């Protein structure tokens, strides 16, 4: 398995081009199941999770053609065409690799009236159930049984509109039900819906495909179902988590990075928190610049659904705060087990005490390099950030986690002056 070796201590300077958002691309790709016409997606990132979902969609019968490779500052252009759905089963072997595979459930059920999707199971950051997806589809008239580790869903007469109030905000459940509702009979209201930019991006693409959706960008989505949707072309929104990760790389090394295609509007709570910590943001023609010119102060952060501080930047924030002046309280409210990076950061010299859902981070002047290992995507990248700031050598194991969500990470960082390389095995 590949490793990444970093020799830390260099301030990063330069530009990094941000790709299309992984978490927008995944639901957008599953939206192709809603029509027999072609859905063309531009700015598609080249990531392991995208390849996993492509394999799943292809076995459902979706044609996947790369129309143009990544050029200049844009990702790939791909055409997805679900002319004939040859299988409505999403098998365990493919779903277990990535939880987001469950996003085929709503579209398959809405289009074919039947779907059999493996239960995704737990993952390193928590149990992550899919009860809200199932309950919502049941309210829309589906019959759902759980059998042999699979969700067996059927709606022979088709789905019908329903008033659905989510008890907690769920990105995936909002996306699954939003897609299902576009082909249901009558009107569906999704209240307390997720407002993440990735949900908004999906809603916009569905509208381009002929769906009727009101309230896009708010927590109440009103969808009037159609008999059919048609093909469309859609550009995937830029990845706010990749942007946030690299701006923290500038911050933790005391450097300055321009985030090309970065959109600070999608990172307002992060911007506010990091401004208070001493990071300066300047808009540029192509995106914005993040710089740490003076000190770095400890500030508190609590993860919340959008527009709050994203849980997918919590581990990176902790790495940053581990070298700040003073203390920081980091509270995780979305996932129950998302402090897996703490023991690894502590092996690099960070001073962190966890009390339930909160971690008290006392800043130290310097981290020291160490061999480290992480159990999920964002935890892994927090260790890369720590390595960039640490004295000496850090080797991050289990690089496959990084490849799920960061395209050419080591290349992008090296271009800004980082001493970082991939060790192939
Ligand atoms: C998505 C993102 C992930 C991000 C998360 C929260 C994708 C592919 N992944 O994951 O990177 O960290 O949003 O912003 O977009 N829950 C239930 N029942 C359900 C569904 C969710 O209890 O049926 C709980 C989860 O366990 C969690 C919380 O709701 O505690 C939020 O999860 P959710 O927003 O659904 O996350 P995902 O869509 O899986």
- pLDDT tens for 40-97 read 999 999 999 999 999 999 999 999 999 988 766 678 999 999 999 999 999 999 998 8
Confirm or reject: Cβ of 132 under 6 Å from ligand 1. Answer: yes
Protein residue whose Cα sits closest to atom 37 of ligand 1: 172
Choose among 351, 396, 391: nearest CA to 371.
396
Lowest mean pLDDT among 49-53, 128-132, 192-196, 388-392: 128-132
Q: How many angstroms separate the CA atoms of 55 and 50, rounded?
A: 9
Name the residue with the closest Cα to ligand 1, atom 11: 312
Which residue has the least CA distance to atom 8 on ligand 1? Answer: 23
Q: Quick one: the chain helix, strand, coil %, rounded to 5?
A: 35, 30, 35
Higher pLDDT among residues 34 and 425, named by residue: 34
Q: Which of 125-139, 177-191, 305-319 is least confident?
A: 125-139
Residue nearest (by alpha carbon) to ligand 1 atom 39: 172
Ligand 1 contacts CB of residue 55 (under 6 A): no
123 in active site? yes
Nearest to 244 by CA among 270, 207, 225: 270
Cβ 241 under 6 angstroms from ligand 1: no
CA–CA separation, 110 vs 69, rounded Å? 32
CB 132 within 8 A of CB 167: yes
Is the pLDDT assigned to residue 276 strictly greater than 70? yes
pLDDT at 336: 85
pLDDT digits (tens, 9 = 90+) for 190-227: 999 999 999 999 999 999 999 999 999 999 999 999 99
23 lines ligand 1 (CB under 6 A): yes
Asked whether 130 lines ligand 1 (CB < 6 A), one says yes
Q: Is the pLDDT of residue 128 over 80?
A: no
* Residues contacting 367, CB < 8 A, separation 6+: 8, 322, 323, 345, 348, 349, 350, 386, 389, 390, 391
| DSSP secondary structure of 290-308 | EEE-S--B---EEB-STTS
Residues 343, 405: Cα–Cα separation, whole Å: 22
Minimum-distance ligand 1 atom for the alpha carbon of 172: 38
Tell me the two tokens of residue 157. Answer: 């007469």
Do the bridges between strand 76-81 and strand 38-44 make them parallel or antiparallel, or are there none, so unpaired?
Answer: antiparallel
**CA angle 237-238-240, nearest 5°?**
115
Confidence of residue 129 (pLDDT cuts 50, 70, 90): confident
From the candidates 112, 123, 205, 416, give the one annotated as an active-site residue: 123
Given a cut of 60, is residue 122 above it in pLDDT? no
């Amino acid at each position: 398995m590949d490793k990444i070796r970093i020799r830390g201590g260099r301030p990063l300077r330069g530009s990094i081009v941000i790709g299309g958002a992984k978490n927008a691309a995944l639901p957008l790709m599953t939206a192709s199941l809603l029509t027999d016409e072609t859905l063309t997606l531009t700015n598609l990132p080249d990531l392991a999770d995208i390849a996993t979902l492509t394999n799943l969609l292809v076995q459902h019968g979706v044609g996947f053609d790369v129309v143009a490779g990544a050029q200049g500052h844009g990702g790939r252009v791909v055409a997805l065409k679900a002319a004939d759905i040859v299988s409505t089963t999403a098998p365990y072997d493919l779903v277990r690799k990535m939880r987001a595979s469950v996003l085929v459930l709503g579209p398959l059920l809405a289009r074919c009236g039947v779907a059999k999707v493996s239960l995704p199971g737990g993952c390193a950051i928590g149990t992550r159930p899919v009860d809200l997806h199932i309950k919502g589809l049941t309210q829309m008239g589906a019959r759902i049984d759980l059998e042999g580790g699979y969700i067996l869903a059927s709606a022979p007469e088709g789905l019908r509109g329903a008033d659905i109030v989510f008890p907690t905000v769920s990105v995936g459940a909002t996306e699954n039900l939003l897609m299902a509702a576009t082909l249901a009979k009558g009107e569906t209201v999704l209240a307390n819906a997720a407002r993440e930019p990735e949900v908004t991006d999906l809603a916009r693409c569905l509208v381009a495909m002929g769906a009727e959706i009101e309230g896009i960008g708010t927590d109440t989505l009103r969808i009037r179902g159609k008999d059919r949707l048609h093909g469309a072309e859609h550009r995937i929104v830029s990845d706010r988590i990749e942007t946030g990760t690299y701006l923290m790389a500038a911050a933790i090394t005391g450097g300055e990075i321009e985030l090309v295609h970065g959109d600070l509007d999608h990172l307002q709570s992060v911007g506010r928190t990091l401004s208070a910590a001493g990071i300066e943001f300047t808009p540029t023609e192509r995106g914005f610049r993040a710089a740490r010119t003076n000190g770095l102060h400890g500030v508190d952060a609590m993860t919340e659904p959008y527009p709050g501080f994203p849980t997918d930047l919590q581990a990176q924030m902790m790495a940053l705060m581990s070298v700040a002046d003073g203390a920081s309280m980091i509270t995780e409210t979305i996932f129950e087990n998302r402090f897996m990076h703490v023991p690894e950061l502590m092996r690099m010299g960070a001073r962190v005490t966890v009390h339930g859902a909160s971690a008290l981070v006392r800043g130290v002047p310097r981290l020291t390099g160490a061999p480290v290992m992480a159990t999920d995507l964002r935890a892994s990248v927090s260790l890369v950030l720590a390595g960039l700031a640490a004295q000496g050598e850090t080797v991050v194991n289990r690089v496959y986690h990084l490849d799920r969500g960061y395209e050419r990470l080591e290349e992008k960082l090296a271009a800004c002056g980082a001493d970082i390389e991939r060790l192939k095995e």
